[in-house]
Amino acid sequence: PPAKYLLPEVTVLDYGKKCVVIDLDETLVHSSFKPISNADFIVPVEIDGTIHQVYVLKRPHVDEFLQRMGQLFECVLFTASLAKYADPVADLLDRWGVFRARLFRESCVFHRGNYVKDLSRLGRELSKVIIVDNSPASYIFHPENAVPVQSWFDDMTDTELLDLIPFFEGLSQEDDVYSMLHRLCTGYPWSCLGIFFAATALPPNGIDQRLLHCSLPLCLRSESAHC
């Protein structure tokens, strides 16, 4: 594709596959600057000349989820966080080379106070693109392409990623993504409400604020270490 697109041309390995765009924070992992005794990774990140340790927890079943996604789709990591944090986390998380590309904050569009992931800039046919993200504000330009997931922080009994695998196995066989994703949105009214409120900037009135805003640690959004 022309240079204006965020992704390179599809490889022979992924030809004919749909493209799944996967968020990082609170979708696959949760990170904190406060020490976590059971952290899966500890990643040093430089902020304002000082090295800070970031403690990273993996969401349950993330390994199975990523491996299966890599078999079925062209997978792209797309996060609104800084590359100096997200890149080393992705190195540790993706041991199988599932992510064909990694996109960071500079690839987002800043819109109404949120970092939005504009899927039209990927260079892929939109009817064959899916985004998996805990924040509806991230995909307000293309809500019809979204598979919403609940924000994850530390619940080790969570099974959402595991539960999604059969859905994605079915989706990989569809001609386009829209009819199946429409049925998913119908089954998750909270996600549709979150998309609506994020898009219109109306007060959510009972909708969990974490669904509407970037859920990255504050210091990785603003480069301030005060978390």
Question: Could you list the active site residues?
Answer: 23, 25
SS (H, E, C) 26-70: CCCEEEECCCCCCCCEEEEEEECCEEEEEEEEECCCHHHHHHHHH
| C-alpha–C-alpha distance, residues 196 and 207, integer Å | 11
